[in-house]
Amino acid sequence: MIKNILIIIALALPVLSWAGNPDRQGEAGAYELLLNPWGASAGINLLNTGSISGVEAMRLNPAGLHFTGRTQLIAGHMRLFDGAGVNMNSAGLAFKYGENGTIGFSLSSMDFGDIPITTVLQPEGNGGTYSPGFVHLGVGYSHSFKDKIFVGVLFRAISETVIDVTANGLALDAGVQYRGGENDRVKLGISLRNVGPAMTFRGEGLTQEVATTAPQTAEYFLQAGLRPAKYELPTVLNLGVSYDFFLAGGRDYLRAIGNFTSNAFSRDNLGLGAEYSFKELFQARAAYTVALGNIPEGTADIYTGISAGFSVNVRTSKKEDNQNRLGIDYAYRTTQHFAGTHNIGIRYTIR
């Protein structure tokens, strides 16, 4: 066990050496890749790198896809920065593939509402509206080795559209989970997210008319194309560990969770959390996250602070051999300068 833990940490050190640079804050794009639409993991503020499981693992550590059951279907809704009118809707499906494999699919879409169109000459709006379209499609795979080590990889297609300009990209996520100890009570995970080529916007919206005058001729206009700058993806490294304290003969547990997040384009974060499960029928969870380093006044990271949530699970049949579950998740995360973020989701798991 110790040997495996040391190997995983050693693999993380090269990435840790260049990550966590607040001087690069704002230099990346596609920050919606860091948003979490799922209710259960949002309640723990996405700190469960080592213990996350099922479809939700596709947002943090694809190795956790292995713990899906036979099939899992999930839908999630996030009301981002309550009162801002921005939402994120997601759906995912995962199922077993072969003896040791699990395949998952996820789709996420941002909803910004209707935004008035303004121009230099019409700063109050011209009567029209537009709504940006940000869509992500993920395909992931997880494989288990001797039921102790689990590896996963995920490819995510990214599309961002604002009126008549579009940016397309591809991101890679990869992760490892290790479970050991009595009843697998020790869980360790590492994941590297959002690794991919730089993106750039293209389209007709980047052209403009330029007035010019040739000798002995009237003024006329030429179409000139702007050259937009490229932007990097917000690469993130997560290293997490958890330990389960079993209660009531092993049917209930209290899970202590710790996680370190190294951000390539912002400050590193450290978080602690806990989750309590009662007979697989009810889970309650809470976490606290802090940003590391010197933080000037008024520049605190948006999701530092408290998060909390719960899940309710019911069996879909009274038959003893039927362990299929229908679950509802809810989470609330405090945010700096806003009124918080709400997550709600529904899950159906076939075991």
What pLDDT was estimated at residue 27?
74
Q: What's 41-74 look like in SS3?
A: HHHCCCCCCCCCCHHHHHHCCHHHHHHHCCEEEE
Question: What is the spatial distance between Cα 43 and Cα 347, in angstroms, rounded to a whole number?
Answer: 15
Residue 178: name the closest of 150, 153, 154 by CA.
150
Q: Is 21 helix (H, G, I), strand (E, B) or coil?
A: coil
The domain containing residue 249 runs over which residues? 2-350
Pairing of strands 341-350, 101-111: unpaired
Show the tokens assigned to 202. Answer: 């293209």
Q: What is the mean pLDDT of residues 45-72?
A: 94
Token pair in block for residue 154:
């995920």
Give, in degrees to the nearest 5, the angle at Cα 64 between 324 and 96.
50
The pLDDT tens digits of the residues spanning 86-136 come to 999 999 999 999 889 999 999 999 998 888 888 888 888 888 888 899 999
Q: CA-based Rg of the chain, rounded to a whole angstrom?
A: 23
Instruction: Say how far apart CA 159 and CA 168 lie, in whole Å.
Output: 5
Residues in the chain: 351
Q: Please determine, for residue 5, whether its predicted confidence score (pLDDT) is greater than 80.
A: no
Give the H/E segment covering residue 16.
Answer: helix 2-16
Which of the two residues, 300 and 48, has the higher pLDDT score? 48
Q: What is the pLDDT of residue 17?
A: 46
Cα-flanking dihedrals φ and ψ of residue 63, to 5°? -60, -30
Report the SS3 class of residue 2.
Answer: helix
* Whether 235 contacts 264, CB under 8 Å: yes
Q: What is the pTM of this model?
A: 0.85
Q: Is 8 helix (H, G, I), strand (E, B) or coil?
A: helix
Token digits of residue 326: 């229908």
Amino acid at 133: G
Q: Which of 284, 286, 221, 288 is nearest to 252 (CA)?
A: 284
pLDDT one-digit tens code per residue, 237-265: 999 999 999 997 778 999 999 999 998 88
CATH number at residue 37: 2.40.160.40
Listed range (20-29, 66-75, 165-174) with the worst mean pLDDT: 20-29
The answer on pLDDT for 278 being more than 90 is yes
Q: How confident is the model at residue 196 (pLDDT cuts 50, 70, 90)?
A: very high
pLDDT for the residue numbered 38: 95
* pLDDT score at 6: 47
Return the SS3 of 124: coil
Contacts of 320 (CB under 8 A, 6+ apart): none
Phi, psi of 131 (to 5 degrees): -140, 115
Query: How many domains does one find in the chain?
Result: 1
Question: Which residues are CB-neighbours of 72 under 8 A, at least 6 positions away?
Answer: 54, 55, 92, 93, 94, 95, 347, 348, 349, 350
Cβ distance 93 to 58 under 8 Å?
no
Please enumerate in sequence order all residues whose Cβ is within 8 A of that of 242, keeping only pairs 6 or more positions apart, or say none: 48, 50, 51, 186, 187, 255, 256, 257, 258
